Chains A and B, each alone.
Chain A
Amino acid sequence: MSTSAAGERSNPADKAYRWVDDRLAISRGGRHLLNKIFPDHWSFMLGEIALYSFIVLLLTGIFLTLYFVPSETTVIYHGAYKPIDGQRISEAYASTLNLSFAVRAGLLMRQMHHWAANIFVGSIVVHLLRVFFTGGFRKPREINWIIGANLLILAIFNGFLGYSLPDDLVSGTGIRIAFSILESVPFVGSQLAFLLFGGNFPGTAIIPRFFIIHVLILPLVILGLLGAHLGMLIRHKHTQFRQAHAREDNVVGTPLWPTFAMKTGGFFFLTTAVTVLLGALVQINPIWQYGQYYPYKVSYAVQPDWYMGFLDGALRVMPAWELHLPGHMIPNVFFPAILLPGITFTLLMLYPFIEAKLTGDVAEHHLLDRPRDRPVRTAFGVATFAFYFVLFGASATDVLANYLSLTLNFVLWAFRIMAIVVPFIVFAVTYKLCKELQQTPSAGKRQQFNLILRSADGGYTTVPAEQYPGYDQPELAPVDVEKVELTADAAQQDGDEGVYEIPRRYR
């Protein structure tokens, strides 16, 4: 053994590593982890933003639990917020005021928590759209698609529970509507609502119960699903876009250590920075302006957080129908608030299977589609999104009517019509656009620069510039996607050094 190697071994970090490795065999799987390849494409960052904003939620949330009191017991307020000095308010509301005005950095943490929640849900949605439009949900990733959809649902629920906690007038109205929605479920709705609320509205237990669901139960479930989501990501390895060297049977990119680790660490701090700056500069949920919730008071600017907007809009555009059966009824709110999201999320989760059924494509796919190459899927996705966007807009009918000086009636009918018509128009336009883009193969690609060289005798020549050192061919010309077939049996036959090569057939 050379002296330098012996010298290295006596270094304390090296010693510690060896001590742990002898007991846990880190180097066995660890090398593969260090060398895990991450494809370089900005769109892979969207999921990371979701993950990092969840971490921000956990950290700021823990801070909030130290001061927030989940109780509806009324107290006479003598705190830092003077305008309501001496009034009877609930401990939940009082402690949120306390967090905002008396606890140092408390307002910052509250606003960061609320902003992080909005970023969390938003980045999940955008991440989902990326996976949808590139076909990242296809075999073998259907299970992870379903887990992702459930994460979205849980994030929305937990956000709703969270902003219901401070017991202010706006959120209380939201809870009242939530009770009515639960009550509208056929057969078991009333029972469900009474059990959850501990009686008829407002019940006896709603803030403490929402609290424990919000800070413990749902975060645990989300954490578990996130673990499964990321575990499957490692098991499946990343998908990748078609570019130089990328094939169905490999992943091309930069390794976890050190390039990706450093970059993604940077993104964590940047996500945090954005939440902190929003928390500093943009006021969110100023509950002291809304006042304490009383069941008989109502605020006129009841606007839920944006991710509940489509539900609020659906409640508004739904015609005043309800279904009367002998001795029973299905109330109006059931259709927009239970049936619609129920169908939406069921279809969302089933989509990979529906598409596989319709296309007959049951092969594994690790190369992503460009949206234009799948015009029907792309058009369908954009049209569905447009529908929800219209519903989201419909949650502001009253604001729009005021602002545009139109009658509420006109605005409401406009949204009812748009909710039906816009998706069809959007479908047609998107489909056409995809087809057009297919005809222009260079559209949306990085420009390749030309170097114009002048020779000594005055002649000019043009050479294409190398644009990314090492990438001789930044993007390959599109190949026909369906024609690549993987067969597991064949792969077994030739294995050199434990690496399976996959025979490929081009038809």
Chain B
Amino acid sequence: MPDLPPHNGQVPRLNDEGRVPLDAPQFQIAAHNPRRVEVAVAAFFLLSLAGFAGFGAAYWQGASNLWLGMTLGVGFAGFGLAMASWGKWLMPRGPFEEPRAPMATTEAEKELFIADFASRGKVAIARRHALAKLMGLAGGVLGVVVAFPLIRSLGPLPGNTQYRTKWRKGSFLTTIDGRRVTVNDLEVGGVLTVFPPDDLGGAISQTLLLHVQASGNVVTMQGRETWGPNGYVAFSKVCTHAGCPVGLYEELTQQLLCPCHQSLFDIYTGAMPVFGPAPRPLPQLALYIDKSGHIRAQHGYTEPVGPGFWSRGAAPFARYRGK
């Protein structure tokens, strides 16, 4: 060992053939005053004993979470402190040394391994080329075939379900408890979550009905002149950002707020997003009021509701309009 730093040799090695004598300085304990540490460790163990026993009593009595946790916690804390201080102060403090060889093997070792692997492999496998290929092929087919029940059975593929809700021509706007909504149900400034009758509570069909003005058609956009009769408008409640229910209607500013990431939608411009990360307006549901005063859908949504997805826009939205 020619050029090792000078302090080598002061630190004993435990794994060598001979044993390091137990009276070596490295086997001494770290505490200057062992008696004091012993008392402390004993006190910690007694504390933990009290804690554990207390937990037993608390459990037996059906005590509150606070009592259960405090007793058990004190028990563990005492136990842990006792062990840690015992180990730190009353046990061989070292330092000892362990030698370390570099991880990388030598070129000779590598070559031996490669030679064994490749030469034997050549005889056994490479010579039977066709067999090896067949083995690979059969294994590959197994892999593909197994993937089907494992993955494909998990659920249906989207099909066109992302483009359609359960809203159809003439659907009654229905509350969660199945009541059909009429023109007299909402005060001005009122808001109600409505569903098509066959999808109460539906996550995709959920729609927000708003009574934004006392009378007259609410025109949010060109081409939607008849969509908001008698001061009522309805928008999809599924945020176009990440799908949270757009829950808050601010009557003063005529805006809708999504609580998840604070997107704001402006009602009178067709729920255009005016703040936050939402990239598209909330789709609007065209309404009409029938002879008996019920609010109903003129037709389904004219575009997919909710957040975007890869193939959105692959087909003209109108094709998916409910009949």
Given contacts A320-B273, A329-B308, A489-B107, contact A266 B86 (CB under 8 A): yes
Q: In the complex, A4→B96 CA distance in Å? A: 30
| Cβ of A107 under 8 Å from chain B | yes
Verify A250–B260 contact, CB threshold 8 A.
no
Verify B157–A191 contact, CB threshold 8 A.
yes
Given contacts A111-B65, A200-B161, A273-B76, contact A327 B314 (CB under 8 A): yes
Verify B162–A200 contact, CB threshold 8 A.
yes
| Cβ of B259 under 8 Å from chain A | yes
| Cβ of A324 under 8 Å from chain B | yes
Chain A residue nearest in CB terms to B77: A273
Verify B277–A316 contact, CB threshold 8 A.
yes
* Chain B neighbourhood of A320, CB < 8 A: 263, 273, 276-279
Verify A331–B307 contact, CB threshold 8 A.
yes
Q: In the complex, A503→B306 CA distance in Å? A: 66
| Cβ of B101 under 8 Å from chain A | yes
The majority secondary structure among interface residues of chain B is loop
Q: In the complex, A199→B204 CA distance in Å? A: 12
| Cβ of B123 under 8 Å from chain A | no
* Chain A neighbourhood of B101, CB < 8 A: 249, 491, 499-500, 502
Q: In the complex, A107→B105 CA distance in Å? A: 53
B203, B280, B310 interface centre (most CB from chain A within 10 Å): B310
B10, B59, B103, B108 interface centre (most CB from chain A within 10 Å): B103
Verify B279–A322 contact, CB threshold 8 A.
yes
Given contacts A173-B260, A492-B108, contact A184 B309 (CB under 8 A): yes
Chain B residue nearest in CB terms to A265: B83
Verify A194–B158 contact, CB threshold 8 A.
yes
Given contacts A105-B59, A254-B92, A266-B84, contact A501 B1 (CB under 8 A): yes
Given contacts A203-B155, A266-B85, contact A397 B260 (CB under 8 A): no
Interface residue stretch chosen among B111-119, B219-227, B242-250: B242-250
Interface size class of A (residues with CB under 8 A): 35 or more
| Cβ of A108 under 8 Å from chain B | yes
Partner of B87, one of A187, A197, A266, A470: A266
Q: How many A-B residue pairs have CB under 8 A?
A: 359
| Cβ of A454 under 8 Å from chain B | no
Chain A residue nearest in CB terms to B247: A298
* Chain A neighbourhood of B215, CB < 8 A: none
Chain A residue nearest in CB terms to B245: A298
Given contacts A294-B201, A329-B308, contact A236 B68 (CB under 8 A): no
Verify A104–B277 contact, CB threshold 8 A.
no
Q: In the complex, A470→B27 CA distance in Å? A: 11
| Cβ of A482 under 8 Å from chain B | no
| Cβ of B185 under 8 Å from chain A | no
Verify B84–A267 contact, CB threshold 8 A.
yes
Within 8 A of A (CB), among B235-282: 237, 241-245, 247-248, 259-263, 273, 275-280
B28, B237, B306 interface centre (most CB from chain A within 10 Å): B306
Q: In the complex, A183→B310 CA distance in Å? A: 8
Given contacts A263-B84, A320-B273, contact A254 B308 (CB under 8 A): no
A247–chain B nearest beta-carbon distance, Å: 7
| Cβ of A140 under 8 Å from chain B | yes
* Chain A neighbourhood of B72, CB < 8 A: 108, 276, 280
Verify B241–A332 contact, CB threshold 8 A.
yes
| Cβ of A89 under 8 Å from chain B | no
| Cβ of A81 under 8 Å from chain B | no
Q: In the complex, A77→B80 CA distance in Å? A: 42
* Chain B neighbourhood of A139, CB < 8 A: 103
Verify A328–B98 contact, CB threshold 8 A.
no
| Cβ of A437 under 8 Å from chain B | no
Verify A184–B203 contact, CB threshold 8 A.
no
Q: In the complex, A201→B307 CA distance in Å? A: 12
Given contacts A180-B307, A187-B310, A296-B201, contact A252 B277 (CB under 8 A): no
Verify A269–B100 contact, CB threshold 8 A.
no
| Cβ of B73 under 8 Å from chain A | yes
* Chain A neighbourhood of B81, CB < 8 A: 266, 270
| Cβ of A125 under 8 Å from chain B | no
Given contacts A179-B243, A258-B92, contact A245 B259 (CB under 8 A): no
Within 8 A of B (CB), among A68-113: 104-105, 107-108, 111-112
Interface residue stretch chosen among B14-22, B138-146, B292-300: B14-22
| Cβ of B313 under 8 Å from chain A | yes
Verify A315–B242 contact, CB threshold 8 A.
yes
Given contacts A140-B103, A176-B244, A296-B245, contact A251 B76 (CB under 8 A): no
A-B contact pairs, 28 of them (CB 8 A): A31-B15, A35-B98, A40-B95, A107-B65, A180-B307, A184-B307, A199-B155, A235-B103, A251-B98, A252-B97, A254-B93, A254-B95, A264-B87, A267-B80, A273-B74, A276-B72, A277-B77, A280-B72, A320-B277, A331-B279, A332-B278, A398-B259, A470-B93, A471-B95, A486-B102, A489-B106, A497-B16, A499-B99
Q: Which residues of B does A touch, CB under 8 Å?
A: 1-5, 7-8, 10-11, 14-17, 25-26, 28, 30, 59, 62, 65-66, 68-70, 72-77, 79-88, 91-108, 151-152, 154-158, 161-162, 176, 193, 195, 201-204, 206, 237, 241-245, 247-248, 259-263, 273, 275-280, 306-315
Query: A252-B11, A273-B77, A280-B68 are known contacts; what are 15 more A-B pairs with Cβ within 8 Å?
Result: A40-B94, A181-B242, A184-B309, A195-B155, A196-B154, A200-B204, A249-B99, A258-B92, A266-B86, A269-B80, A296-B193, A328-B314, A333-B242, A491-B102, A491-B106
Q: Which 5 A-B pairs have the closest CB atoms?
A: A280-B69, A266-B84, A331-B308, A262-B87, A269-B80
Q: Which residues of A does B touch, CB under 8 Å?
A: 31-32, 35-37, 40, 104-105, 107-108, 111-112, 139-140, 173, 176-177, 179-181, 183-191, 194-205, 235-237, 244-245, 247-255, 258-274, 276-277, 279-281, 294-300, 302, 312, 315-316, 318-322, 324, 327-333, 337, 364, 366, 397-398, 408-409, 412, 469-473, 486-489, 491-492, 497, 499-504, 506
